[in-house]
Amino acid sequence: MSVAAPPQLSHLRALESEAIHVMREVAAEFERPVLLFSGGKDSIVLLRLAEKAFRPAPFPFPLMHVDTGHNFPEVIEFRDRRVAELGERLIVASVQESIDSGRVVEETGPRASRNRLQTVTLLDAIAEHGFDAAFGGARRDEERARAKERVFSFRNDFGQWEPKSQRPELWNLYNGRINKGESVRVFPLSNWTELDVWEYIDEEQLEVPSIYFAHEREVFVRDGMLYAWRIGTELVDGEQVFTETVRYRTVGDMSCTGGVRSQAATLREVVVEIAATRITERGETRADDRASEAAMEDRKKDGYF
């Protein structure tokens, strides 16, 4: 190792330090943690934080991806490459398998999405592997229900979040005590904003999937959002496919994640664009949150991420 000068403790480094502390607490207090890695920007940051917390040793937990089968191919390719670089183990929990085995029923029609189905696949995988803690990349600035969620978010033995009976969370003392069958979702990035995440990715020069940068894509407009067209997409009356230069602010299921018109081709340009944006990332790009005033709250109560 080379000798480096002590870094200035910028707000990013303070947030980093806090997140590393959270990850080490989980490793020490839980028997079978897992880190949820989607290939999206937030979980990319989680992986770097795990390296900072545990290297030169291997991670004391595997990684897991809940694969809807409708993910962007660029993201899946990136996911596998990143996992291989790290030399860590990846578990893929497949929504397709949940459908094939009859655990869930696929939605039909042009607006069908596998977003909600993910919850069943996620909870099944947590039960199957006996995971008692799952790291997620959720942030409190994303959404109003998340603004109220703890860093250690307790889930009952149905995997559900009960917003009214959350444990108080004081200082940096986290209560990780659970009974068998219960689990905790842990959000080390709770206090980060979208801009923090991009500035951190830029400072750390982390690789992200290419869909985060401006690229040409065949898209169509629905409910004011730009969706990627792919083979099999059912168009509704009047919808037309055209080519547009877009990038993605969030990485989710292709069926419910919209792109934004953008020319940002580098990390710096993305940071500048995010700093100037006037629309939240979920408001701009996620149909799953537009379903109702409390769409996220309701899904979280069901056991969603």
Partner 1 sequence: MTLDLLRFTTAGSVDDGKSTLIGRLLYDTKQVFEDQLEHVAQASVRRGGEGALDLALLTDGLRAEREQGITIDVAYRYFATSRRRFIIADCPGHQQYTRNMVTGASTADLAVVLIDARRGVLEQSKRHAFISALLGIPQLLVAINKMDLVEHSQARFDELVEVFEGFAEKLTGVSDISYIPISALNGDNVVERSEHMPWYEGPTVLELLEQVEVAYDHPYDKPTRFPVQWVIRPATASGAGAASAPDAGDYRAYAGQLASGALRRGDEVAVLPGGRRTKIAAIDTYDGELEEAIAPMSVALRLEDDLDVSRGELICRPQEAPTVARELQADVCWMTEKPLRPRGRYLLKHTSRMATAVIDEIRDLLEVRTLERVEPPAELGLNDIGHVRLRTAVPLVFDDYTSNRRTGSFILIDESSNETVGAGMIN
* Residues numbered 60-79 forming contacts with partner 1, rule: CB under 8 A: 60-62
- CA 95, CA 67: separation in Å to the nearest integer? 6
Residues 189-248 interacting with partner 1 (rule: CB under 8 A): 190-191, 193, 195-196
Query: At closest approach, how far in Å is the CB of 78 from partner 1?
Result: 19
Query: At closest approach, how far in Å is the CB of 223 from partner 1?
Result: 13
Stretch of residues binding partner 1 (CB under 8 A), selected from 113-121, 174-182, 215-223, 257-265: 174-182
Give the C-alpha distances (Å, rounded to integers) separating 208 from 129, 142, 170, 202. 28, 20, 34, 10
Q: Between residues 196 and 253, which has the closer beta carbon with respect to partner 1?
A: 196
Query: At closest approach, how far in Å is the CB of 61 from partner 1?
Result: 7
Q: Between residues 17 and 266, which has the closer beta carbon with respect to partner 1?
A: 17
Residue selected from 31, 102, 108, 171 as contacting partner 1 according to rule CB under 8 A = 171
Measured at the CA of 282, the angle between CA 44 and CA 48, to 5 degrees, comes to 10
β-sheet bridge partners, residue 98: none
Residues contacting 186, CB < 8 A, separation 6+: 22, 23, 26, 33, 133, 134, 135, 136, 151, 152, 153
Task: Kindly state the tokens that stand for 142.
Answer: 């994303």
Q: Between residues 190 and 257, which has the closer beta carbon with respect to partner 1?
A: 190
CB atoms inside a 10 Å sphere around CB 82? 21
- CA 21, CA 38: separation in Å to the nearest integer? 22
Residue selected from 31, 102, 109, 173 as contacting partner 1 according to rule CB under 8 A = 173
**Across the beta sheet with 33-36, what order do the strands follow?**
90-94, 63-67, 33-36, 133-135, 183-186, 152-155
Query: At closest approach, how far in Å is the CB of 117 from partner 1?
Result: 23
Checking DSSP bridges between strand 90-94 and strand 152-155, what pairing results, if any?
unpaired
Residue selected from 73, 110, 158, 177 as contacting partner 1 according to rule CB under 8 A = 177
Residues 98-127 interacting with partner 1 (rule: CB under 8 A): none
Query: At closest approach, how far in Å is the CB of 294 from partner 1?
Result: 4
Q: Between residues 172 and 266, which has the closer beta carbon with respect to partner 1?
A: 172
Is residue 264 a contact partner of residue 270, using CB atoms and an 8 Å limit? yes
Per-residue binding letters, 36-55, with partner 1 (x by CB under 8 A): ---------------xxxxx
